[in-house]
Amino acid sequence: MGLFETFKNEFIDIIEWTDNTQDTIVWKFPRHQNEIKTGAQLTVRETQVAIFINEGKIADVFQPGRYELTTANMPILTTLKGWKYGFNSPFKVDIYFVNTKQFIDQKWGTKNPITLDDSRFGMIEMRAFGNFSFRVTDAGKFMKEIVGTDGEFTTDEISEQLRTLVVSKLTDAIGESDIKIEKFAGNLNEFSKFGEEKLADDFDGYGLKITKLLVENISMPDEIKKEIFELSRLDKIDLQKLTQMKVAKGIENAADNGGGMAGAFVGVGLGGMMQGGIAGSNQQGGATVPPPVLQMHVVVNGAQAGPFDIAALTQMVANGTLTKDTLVWKAGMANWAAASTVAELNTVFGAVPPPLPPPAV
């Protein structure tokens, strides 16, 4: 190798990065032990930041523009190198280019269902998915917190961490919302904005900014969808109507499964009770006062269910779901108690005929 080639490989006078990828966030300039000479030209393109690192410490950070490297535009490096009167000899530093453009269409989704406790439908498992976009806003912080000495850092190396963060915060957002589950599909934009706000501080801790969060879908079990569709046909969704609907469905199922005329008569009796619960009233001084409605929670198969009204409780006694030993609770009770100890349930147990005596021998 000639003398000219030796000098050519020892000194660098042009420093730049032309990014031809779509996923590279950080790229290290390949100095390969070569030295940067006085007056070298540094070009930092739009959506880039150049960071000079000297002996493991971040020195000067260059925003987009064209620079001729001198002590004037490298104040921190000048101090670290001890250049009091300017530098005239080549020097060595590590140079990283950080991409500050938006990285879009980063997919996220719930690996496991989100469990919500709804006052009307009980425990519900839901899933959600969508995408988000982000960009680097503090290149120095991003280098310190995430990249380290990685020579080429891509979105794949941080996407899993960010996806986990998005799912965690959005799960909190869904749980903290006051939106009824049947309204979730119509409020995806609200969830998206709320999620962005909750993620802002966490992304900032990495030197990043979440520029867009989209919730594309929130799904729920088919049986819950079916109940919601049925409830949508009612004038108003409330606990009383939901209980009545479930009782009516139970009567229908009992008749279909061999309840015969007995099941039909039970249905008629309960229907009258439900009508009385809706339309009945007490007349006091000419004013119509609706009768108090008993709302009782019941332990069924080891889990809390309800609350149920008199009509539903009567049906539960009839089909054996509610016995005198079943634990129940209503507003005002300090603890759960056996159904036989609750005075309001005496009429429920009395309304159901006892088992038939054994046939005479």
For range 334-346, the mean pLDDT: 83
Tell me the two tokens of residue 209.
């900014």
User: What percent of the chain stands above pLDDT 90?
Assistant: 25
Residue 37 reports pLDDT greater than 80: yes
User: What percent of the chain stands above pLDDT 70?
Assistant: 75
Strand pairing partners for 98? 26, 49
Average of per-residue pLDDT values in the chain:
78
For range 41-58, the mean pLDDT: 93
Q: What is the pLDDT of residue 361?
A: 56
For range 204-229, the mean pLDDT: 86
Alpha helices in the chain, H assignment, sequence order: 3-10, 75-81, 139-142, 156-176, 188-204, 222-231, 239-254, 260-279, 310-318, 346-350
Q: What is the pLDDT of residue 235?
A: 46
Instruction: Please give the single-letter amino acid code of residue 199.
Output: L
**Residue that wins the pLDDT comparison between 303 and 129:** 129
- The DSSP letter of residue 339 is G
Q: Which residue has the tokens 């209980």?
A: 243
Q: What is the pLDDT of residue 277?
A: 46
**Residue that wins the pLDDT comparison between 203 and 110:** 203
Q: What is the pLDDT of residue 64?
A: 96
Residue 5's pLDDT band (cuts 50, 70, 90): very low
Instruction: Please give the single-letter amino acid code of residue 245.
Output: M
- Contacts of 154-158 with C-beta under 8 Å, sequence gap 24+, read 154/21, 154/23, 154/24, 154/25, 155/23, 155/25, 155/103, 155/106, 156/23, 158/25
Residue 10's pLDDT band (cuts 50, 70, 90): low
Torsional sign, CA 275, 278, 279, 280: positive
For range 190-219, the mean pLDDT: 90
pTM, to two decimals: 0.58
Name the most confidently modeled range: 53-57, 204-208, 224-228, 299-303. 204-208
**Residue that wins the pLDDT comparison between 259 and 116:** 116
For range 45-49, the mean pLDDT: 95
Using an 8 Å Cβ cutoff, are 184 and 218 in contact?
Answer: yes
**Residue that wins the pLDDT comparison between 138 and 249:** 138
For range 264-271, the mean pLDDT: 42
Q: Which residue has the tokens 């982000």?
A: 134
Residue 138 reports pLDDT greater than 90: yes
Q: What is the pLDDT of residue 305?
A: 81
* pLDDT one-digit tens code per residue, 212-223: 999 988 888 888
Whose CA is closest to 279, among 270, 291, 268?
291
Q: What is the pLDDT of residue 65?
A: 96
Residue 276's pLDDT band (cuts 50, 70, 90): very low
Omega within 30 of 0 (cis) for the link into 307: yes
**Structural domains in the chain?**
3-99 (no CATH), 103-220 (3.30.479.30), 239-277+293-350 (no CATH)
Whose CA is closest to 106, among 47, 141, 157, 173?
157
* pLDDT one-digit tens code per residue, 168-181: 888 887 777 767 77
